[in-house]
Chain A
Amino acid sequence: MIDFIAQRMIQAVFVMLVVALISFSLFQFVGDPINNMVGQEATEAQREALREQLGLNDPIPIQFVKWVGNAMQGEFGISYRMGKPVDQLIAERLPATLELVFLSAILALAIGVPMGVYTGLNRYSWLSRVFLTISLIGISLPTFLIGIILILTFGVWLGWLPTFGRGGTVDLGGWQTSFLTLQGWSHIIMPAFTLALFQLTLIMRLVRAEMLEVLRTDYIKFARARGLKQRSINFGHALKNTLVPVITIMGLQIGALLAFSIITETVFQWPGMGLLIIQAIQFVDIPIMSSYLVLVALFFVLINLTVDLLYYAVDPRLRIERPGPAH
Chain B
Amino acid sequence: MLRLSLVLVLSAFLALAARTADAQEKVFRYAASGDILGLDPHAHNNGPTNAMKGNLYGSLIHRRPDLSLAPDLATEWERVDETTWIFTLRDGVTFHNGNPFAANDVIYSFERQRQPGAEMATAVASIATIEPIDDLTIEVKTSAPDPTLLLNLPLFFIVDEEYTEENDGFDVALAAGAQSFVNTNANGTGPFRLVEWVQDNRLEVERNAHWWGHGDDAGNVERAIFTPIGNDATRVAALLSGEVDMMYPIPLQDVPRLTGHPDVAVLQGPELRTIFFGFDQHRDELLDMPGSGENPLKDGRVRRAFALAIDKEGIKRVVMRDAATPTGLMIAPGIEGFQEDMNTPYPFEPEQAKLLLAEAGYPDGFPITLDCPNDRYVNDEAICTAMIPMLERVGIDVTLNAQPRSLHFNKIGAPSGYDTSFYMLGWTPGSFDAHNVLQNIITLDGPGQGTWNSGRYSNPRIEELTDLIASTVDSEARDALIREAFQIHYDEVGHLPLHQQALAWGVRTDAVAEIVQRPFDDVDLRYVTLD
Which listed residue (A35, A42, A85, A151) contacts B237, Cβ 8 A?
A151
Is A161 interfacial (CB 8 A cutoff)? Answer: yes
**Chain B binder among A49-57, A65-73, A243-251, A298-306:** A49-57
Is A156 interfacial (CB 8 A cutoff)? Answer: yes
Is A129 interfacial (CB 8 A cutoff)? Answer: no
Do B176 and A32 have beta carbons less than 8 Å apart?
Answer: no
CB distance from A261 to the nearest CB of B (A): 14
Do A189 and B8 have beta carbons less than 8 Å apart?
Answer: yes
**Chain B binder among A14-22, A227-235, A266-274, A313-321:** A266-274
Instruction: Give chain A interface residues in 141-182, CB to chain B under 8 Å.
Output: 148, 151-152, 154-156, 158-166, 182
Please indicate the chain B residues that have their CB under 8 angstroms from the CB of A236 in the complex: none
Please indicate the chain A residues that have their CB under 8 angstroms from the CB of B116 in the complex: 46, 49
How far apart sit A279 and B228, CA to CA, in the bound complex (Å)? 12
Do B176 and A83 have beta carbons less than 8 Å apart?
Answer: yes
Do B406 and A33 have beta carbons less than 8 Å apart?
Answer: yes
Is A43 interfacial (CB 8 A cutoff)? Answer: yes
Do B179 and A85 have beta carbons less than 8 Å apart?
Answer: yes
How far apart sit A278 and B227, CA to CA, in the bound complex (Å)? 17
Is A260 interfacial (CB 8 A cutoff)? Answer: no
Do B11 and A34 have beta carbons less than 8 Å apart?
Answer: no
Do B233 and A41 have beta carbons less than 8 Å apart?
Answer: no
Do B415 and A269 have beta carbons less than 8 Å apart?
Answer: no
CB distance from B241 to the nearest CB of A (A): 5
Is B452 interfacial (CB 8 A cutoff)? Answer: yes
How far apart sit A30 and B405, CA to CA, in the bound complex (Å)? 10
How far apart sit A306 and B242, CA to CA, in the bound complex (Å)? 44
Is A241 interfacial (CB 8 A cutoff)? Answer: no
Inter-chain residue pair count (beta carbon < 8 A): 183
Please indicate the chain A residues that have their CB under 8 angstroms from the CB of B37 in the complex: 81
Whether A156 contacts B237 in the complex (CB less than 8 A), given A31-B404, A44-B451, comes out as yes
Do B241 and A40 have beta carbons less than 8 Å apart?
Answer: no
User: Of all chain A residues, which has the CB nearest B46?
Assistant: A39
**Chain A binder among B12-20, B304-312, B488-496:** B12-20
CB distance from B258 to the nearest CB of A (A): 12
Which listed residue (A37, A83, A155, A182) contacts B180, Cβ 8 A?
A83
CB distance from A117 to the nearest CB of B (A): 16
How far apart sit A152 and B230, CA to CA, in the bound complex (Å)? 17
How far apart sit A42 and B115, CA to CA, in the bound complex (Å)? 13
Which listed residue (B45, B175, B230) contacts A80, Cβ 8 A?
B175
Is A294 interfacial (CB 8 A cutoff)? Answer: no
Whether A82 contacts B117 in the complex (CB less than 8 A), given A40-B427, A162-B243, comes out as no
Interface string of A278-292 (1 = CB under 8 A from B): 110011100000000
Do A183 and B406 have beta carbons less than 8 Å apart?
Answer: no
User: Of all chain B residues, which has the CB nearest A276?
Assistant: B200
How far apart sit A59 and B108, CA to CA, in the bound complex (Å)? 40
Interface size on B, residues (CB 8 A): 65
Interface string of B366-397 (1 = CB under 8 A from A): 00000000010000000000000000000000
Whether A282 contacts B407 in the complex (CB less than 8 A), given A83-B178, A267-B234, A276-B200, comes out as no
CB distance from B73 to the nearest CB of A (A): 24
Instruction: Give chain B interface residues in 186-239, CB to chain A under 8 Å.
Output: 198-202, 227-231, 233-234, 237-238
Q: Which of A80, A83, A161, A189 neighbours the largest number of chain B CB atoms within 10 Å of its CB? A: A83
CB distance from B520 to the nearest CB of A (A): 13
How far apart sit A45 and B243, CA to CA, in the bound complex (Å)? 45
Do B119 and A39 have beta carbons less than 8 Å apart?
Answer: yes
Is A84 interfacial (CB 8 A cutoff)? Answer: yes
Do A189 and B229 have beta carbons less than 8 Å apart?
Answer: no
Interface size on A, residues (CB 8 A): 61
Interface string of B165-186 (1 = CB under 8 A from A): 0000000011111111001100
How far apart sit A15 and B201, CA to CA, in the bound complex (Å)? 33
Which listed residue (A50, A156, A185, A282) contacts B11, Cβ 8 A?
A185
Do A269 and B231 have beta carbons less than 8 Å apart?
Answer: yes
Do A35 and B413 have beta carbons less than 8 Å apart?
Answer: yes
Is A128 interfacial (CB 8 A cutoff)? Answer: no
CB distance from B35 to the nearest CB of A (A): 8
Whether A269 contacts B230 in the complex (CB less than 8 A), given A41-B122, A282-B404, comes out as yes
Is A94 interfacial (CB 8 A cutoff)? Answer: no
Is A63 interfacial (CB 8 A cutoff)? Answer: no
Is B414 interfacial (CB 8 A cutoff)? Answer: yes
Is A223 interfacial (CB 8 A cutoff)? Answer: no
Is B38 interfacial (CB 8 A cutoff)? Answer: yes
Please indicate the chain A residues that have their CB under 8 angstroms from the CB of B430 in the complex: 39, 41
Instruction: Give chain B interface residues in 254-275, CB to chain A under 8 Å.
Output: none
How far apart sit A53 and B176, CA to CA, in the bound complex (Å)? 8
Do A39 and B45 have beta carbons less than 8 Å apart?
Answer: yes
Do B200 and A275 have beta carbons less than 8 Å apart?
Answer: yes
Please indicate the chain A residues that have their CB under 8 angstroms from the CB of B230 in the complex: 266, 269, 275, 278-279
How far apart sit A163 and B175, CA to CA, in the bound complex (Å)? 31
How far apart sit A154 and B175, CA to CA, in the bound complex (Å)? 39
Interface string of B81-105 (1 = CB under 8 A from A): 0000000000000000000000000
User: Of all chain A residues, which has the CB nearest B40?
Assistant: A83
CB distance from B448 to the nearest CB of A (A): 6
Please indicate the chain A residues that have their CB under 8 angstroms from the CB of B409 in the complex: 32, 35
Please indicate the chain B residues that have their CB under 8 angstroms from the CB of A164 in the complex: 227, 229, 234, 237-238, 243
Whether A36 contacts B406 in the complex (CB less than 8 A), given A53-B177, A83-B38, A269-B227, comes out as yes
Do A46 and B119 have beta carbons less than 8 Å apart?
Answer: yes
Q: What 8 A-B pairs have minimum CB-CB distances, sorted nearest first?
A: A186-B11, A31-B406, A39-B45, A160-B12, A83-B175, A32-B410, A31-B407, A35-B409
Q: A30-B407, A41-B436, A279-B230 are in contact. List 6 more A-B contacts (CB 8 A).
A: A34-B410, A81-B37, A82-B175, A162-B15, A164-B237, A267-B231
Q: What are 24 A-B contacts with C-beta separation under 8 Å?
A: A35-B413, A38-B119, A41-B430, A42-B45, A49-B116, A49-B117, A50-B176, A80-B176, A83-B184, A84-B179, A148-B237, A154-B8, A156-B241, A159-B15, A159-B242, A160-B9, A161-B15, A163-B241, A182-B10, A186-B14, A189-B7, A278-B230, A282-B375, A283-B406
